[in-house]
Structures are given as structure tokens and as C-alpha cells.
Chains A and B, each alone.
Chain A
Amino acid sequence: MRPSEWISLLACVIVGTLWVFLGQNALFLNVFAGWLVGPGLNLQDFLQTGSSPSFTVLWIGCLTALLIWYWHTFSRSTRSSAEVRRMRGRWWLAALLLVLFGWFSQLTFTVFRWQVTGTSPLEGGGVNYYPVPPMGWILLLVVVVLDVILLFWLPTVLASPRSHRFVVPGAVTLRGGR
């Protein structure tokens, strides 16, 4: 891996981390507050105990997947075009699992957690889940996809070693071939 690729990888992780822990919440509070606030839902409470923990779990999942990807691609080389194409299937599977994992963690911290413990996240509320409106749910699910793009696709496309860079969708257009 070239120094520029190490720098790209580091930059992606830093930017991704800042986005997940600072940028996203700022966006939710200042731009999309209307989409997220439902009946009786305190947005600050939701961001602290619902949204942020779920995105933290996704962040950990993405970094873990990234580490596994780099361990795998550094430790072995590809021998043929067919092997690159087979690896592409694995990359897509990893990306899909991360998105599903992110959505599941949203559900967990917004709904399942409260239902399992039998408590309500709202003071004096009768429901044992965060009543996020449909547009809020769509926003959360889209942000999960954005996070996977930022924390998994971008680092792998910019800094996968050797022929593994051709595995990641869009990498040939961005980095390799002519």
C-alpha cells in the first residue's frame, strides 16, 4: 500500500467518525428535526438513548468489517480476474450485511430494547418504543446506508491493496485501468 493510500484510509476513518458522532446529530437537530419528532418524543432524548447508541454500534461494525477486509486482502493476493470477481461477491455481501446490521440496530435501540425491558422511553408515555414518524424512519435507514458508504465503501475503494482495489464497485473507474 502506498503512503497516499494509508493517508486516504486514515482520513476516511477520521471523517467517518466525526460524521457519525458529531455531524449526523447536528443534521438531525438542525435540518431534519421535523421528520424525527413524533407525538410525545423528545428529540434530545431520542438522539441520546436511541439514535446515537445504534449508530455507535454500526460504527463499530463498520470498523470491524474494515479491519477484517484489510487483514484478508493484505494477507493474500488475487491470482486471476475470476478471483477478483469472486471477491466482489464477498464485498457486496459484507456491505449488505452491514446495512442490515445498521437497520437492525436502529430497530433495536428504537423499539426492541424498550419492549424487552418493558419500559417506556417517553416520560409518562404509554408506549414502550420511540414513536418515530415514517419520514423519520426513512431518514434513519437512508443515513445507515450513507454511513456504510462512508465507513466501508470509501476506505475500501481508496485503500484496498493490489488487485483487491478492483473488487470494490467503482474502483476501476476511480483508481484503476484506463
Chain B
Amino acid sequence: MTLFAIGVGGTGAKCLEALTHLHACGLIDRGDGGAGRRSLGTFLVDPDQQSALLLRAQTAISRYGALRGAIADRSDRFARGDLHDYGHWSPLSNSSGAVSLDQVFPKAILTNQASGLAGLFDCLFPPEEQQADLEVGFRGRPPIGAAVMNRINLEQEAQTGQWQRMLSDIQAAAGNGEAPVIHLFGSVFGGTGASGVPSLGLLLKNWLREQNLGSVTVQASLLLPYFDFDGQGDGDTGVHAEARNFQLNTDAALQYLRASGPSCFDRVFLVGSDLKARFGFSIGGTSQSNAAHLVELLAALGAREQAPANASGYAFVLSRARQGQIGWEDIPDDEAVGAALAQGARFAVAWLNNLSLEIDAAQQVPMGTFLSGAPWARRFFSPSGAPTATSGGRPPIRDATELSLKTCIDRYAETLLQWLQQISSNVGSGFEQELFSPETLKRTSSPDNALHKVVRGKARPDRPEASDTVETIKIAMDGLPAAAISRVGMAGLADALWTLCA
């Protein structure tokens, strides 16, 4: 099973960031046995190449990709989901360097050769929209995005670049008898997502029909308003997204979805929030660094949903049990999702704030000295500190390849921790979450031990507080029967920690 996820715009990129973390936690696998492991393909669509949100999603994707590549088949449970990164594509990339609407649709040529079209162009887009620099996105104006997006020729794009790689993989997956899913993510209240998601959905559906790929499902998570801006633009920012337009854009998008939705998507998931988070105003680019939000997690979880054989319904929504609070019971498939996210959070804390620091400390002292205080390490690394015949394949703790893998784990765990910290602390005023303790989801410079506060609510492992520590995990590692440790080295250590963090 392969899931092809396309994030459109800044919010779409944030959803892909969330989806990557869900995949790392093993949540794209449905555990349905016969279907095997699911791989995830990610593709980011955004004209704003400097977007901090895009950069953050790319960081999560590339760090997990690097980790997955370094781990390969050296673990049994940790980081087992394959990831294909198709990269980033800008809808302006085929416009010969054009950065504004009147360059995408050359105004002078239109006026000379088709004055009627030029008049229509002037009628649809006021001068400030025609001249706005689109390199920071479509400025919260779906009509601008729709005009640009609808110029995309998917048949032509399928011949080269990222589209070619992704579309040929979709064809290959469908040809292998799989039932690939294309899942689009984007907001309906901004500019890029609101215009790009339906446009790309329509283009993909048409392309699939032309290719006779009936087994491929196209679905989308559409994000309704869930944040407001703390400030607003001024005259210098030019055309920009305005929070007062969010509702209007949403109404228009939902009306379009009602009329033409099935031609774009086989089904949609609509997620938003009545209690809004507040982000600082930005027209886009590097200054647009909105923190991750729970709604993006919920949107990403839509990609896990498999259509039942006799599926009915087109649009799916979510609700929560309490007005001012969200808990695990409000999360779809909360048992599995809660357990996996709790495992991921506990792993990231235990790894970064303890075991990684321990491995660093081991570089400074003789192996024998280190082992005298850390007997667990001899289960994974050569006790003599050198590869010997008696080490049973255990590599030295100072082996360059092992340390390189450690760096990959460190980087990804840090990204995961930062994301978890953001979704648990950035919920908006008057709204609480009972999922994680944000104050524990931080990297510490000295070894930390406690894990009992990391997860809140029903997903928290049922262990006494005093024994829910990294120290307990280390002792358990030391006492594991030989058969339970099938992997050695850094990958084996991470694999054992991942298992014991459950």
C-alpha cells in the first residue's frame, strides 16, 4: 500500500509535517497484516519557496528520510515506514520567470491580441492583484491561485521532474495491484491551498481517468479556519491575507465543494476549530513561521482512514466531547493513535535527554569505565570498544557509521519533539489539550530521567511514577533475554528503546 501525500500551500506543508511524524510513529501502517507495510510519498506544492512552513515540512521529511535511509533493515520496529520524497514544486515554475499575475498572463500581449480577454482579466483582477509578487504565495486570494493553478498541464508535467517521478510511481503502484491513495492537504480559507487543492484534485482525477487507473483513490483533508492573525498588514505589504476574509473564502470553497467536489475528490475530510489559535501576521516567506497545531494532526489522520468496501458519504467531519478541551478520546482511532504518539514522544524524550547524551559521554572515557556505570550498553556495543571475534557483531561505540546513525536519530527526534511541543502548547486561548505535557517536550543539556509526565490522559502508560524512568528502561535492556535483542549497534539500541517506550 502506498500513500501519496500532496501538501498545497503553507497549511498543506504543515499537514505533511504532521503526516511524516505519524508515519515515523508507525501510524500509516494499519496493522492489517495482509496489506503489508505502507510507504509514504510526499510532495509539496507552493509558489512561496522561502516559506518557513515549507522549510519546516522539508526538514521533517528530509530528517526522517535520512534516518530511514541510515536505519535501512537494521531495526525491527523503529523507523520502519518507507518514505519517498518527491520534493517541492512551484506552480510558477513553468511561467518563464513570471512572479506576478500580469506576467503569468502577459497583459500587453493580451491587450494587443485579445482585447476582450484583457478586459475580462481587468474585470476579474484589480490592478494590485495583477501586480502582486506571487513568490510569497497567492496572498490569501483564491482567485489568483485558481488562475495560476488552472494553467497546469498535468500531461505535460508528467514528462519531467518531480511530477513525472510521482505520477510514474502511482502508475507502478496501481500496476502492482495495490490500491494507491492520493491525499491532498491544504486550507480552504487562504490563497494557495484554497485554489490549489481543488485544482490539483481535478487535474489528478482527470489524469487518472485518462490513464485508466481506476484503483487509485483521490481524497483530501481540507482545513477550515483554525487560526487568526494577531496583527494585520499595512500599505507596504500590498495585497495580503486577512483574517476577516477567512470565513468568506471558506463559504466560497464549501459551495464549490458542494457543487463540484466529487469531480475533484472521492472523499474529503473537513477539519477546523471554533476556538482559534493566534499567529503573528505575515504575508509569507521566511517570516511565516506559524507553530504546528493540533488541527493539522487531525487533518493528517484523515490519510489513515480507509474507505470501507460499501463506503457511503463524501465529506467527513470531527467533533470533540468538551467545549474547551481536547483529549485522546476526541482523536480518531484513539487507542492506536494515542499509543503510537505516546511511544514516539517518550522515545524522543528518552533518546535526546538521556541515551544520546550517554553515547556522547561514552566518547570521552574508556569503554570499560563507561560500561561499569552502563552495563546496558554492552548488549549493543562491543564491550572491548573494538570489533572482535567475541563481540557477536556488536560494533564499537565509537564507530563512525554508528555515530552517523546517532546523528540522524538525534536530528529526527529533535524535530519530532519540537513538533509535539508545538501542537501541545499552541492550542489557543480558552482551549486546553490533555494529550502531552509541553514543558517535558524539550531538549535538556544534562541527562534527564523522568518519563511519567510526558503523556497525559488515557494514552499514558499504566506504570507507577517511580518506575516510569529511562533508568528503568536501561535496567530492562540489560536484563532482556538474548532472543529479544536481535539487532545491535545504534539501530539496535534505538529499536530496543522504541519497544520499551511503549
A: which residues have CB within 8 A of B? 77-85, 88, 162-163, 166, 172, 176-178
Contact = CB atoms under 8 A, between A and B. Distances in A.
Interface stretch (B22-30, B290-298, B369-377, B406-414): B369-377
A81 B448 contact: no
Given A162-B475, A163-B474, A81 B449 contact: no
B472 interface: yes
Contact of B375 (A80, A85, A176): A176
Contacts of B448: 79
B387 interface: no
B471 A78 contact: yes
Interface stretch (B197-205, B324-332, B355-363): B355-363
Interface centre among A78, A80, A162, A166 (most CB of B within 10 A): A80
A178 B369 contact: no
Contacts of B373: 78, 80-85, 88, 163, 166
Given A80-B358, A80-B374, A163-B373, 13 more contacts: A79-B446, A81-B358, A81-B371, A84-B372, A84-B374, A85-B369, A85-B372, A88-B372, A162-B472, A166-B375, A176-B478, A177-B371, A177-B478
B447 interface: yes
Contacts of A162: 471-472, 475
A84 B375 CA distance: 11
A168 B475 CA distance: 16
Contacts of A79: 354, 446-449, 470-471
7 contacts: A77-B471, A78-B449, A79-B470, A81-B371, A84-B373, A85-B369, A162-B471
B378 interface: yes
Interface of B: 354, 357-358, 361-362, 369-375, 377-379, 446-449, 469-472, 474-475, 478
A77 B465 CA distance: 12
Contact of A83 (B362, B447, B475): B447
A108 to B, nearest CB: 37
Contacts of B379: 178
Contacts of A178: 375, 378-379, 478
A88 B374 CA distance: 13
Nearest to B378: A177
Contacts of B370: 81
Contact of A82 (B361, B378, B471): B361
Contacts of A172: 371-372, 375
Contacts of A78: 373, 449, 471
A1 B372 CA distance: 21
Contacts of A77: 449, 469, 471
B147 to A, nearest CB: 59
Nearest to A80: B447
Contacts of B474: 163
A144 to B, nearest CB: 27
Contacts of A177: 371, 375, 378, 478
Contacts of B469: 77
A85 B366 CA distance: 13
Nearest to A74: B466
Contacts of A176: 375, 478
B493 to A, nearest CB: 14
Contact of B357 (A80, A85, A166): A80
Nearest to A178: B378
A177 B375 CA distance: 5
Contacts of B375: 166, 172, 176-178
Given A80-B373, A81-B370, A85-B373, A163 B475 contact: yes
Nearest to B450: A77
A82 B362 CA distance: 9
A176 B446 CA distance: 25
Contacts of B358: 80-81
Contacts of A84: 372-374
Nearest to B361: A82
A83 B448 CA distance: 11
Contact of B361 (A80, A88, A163, A166): A80
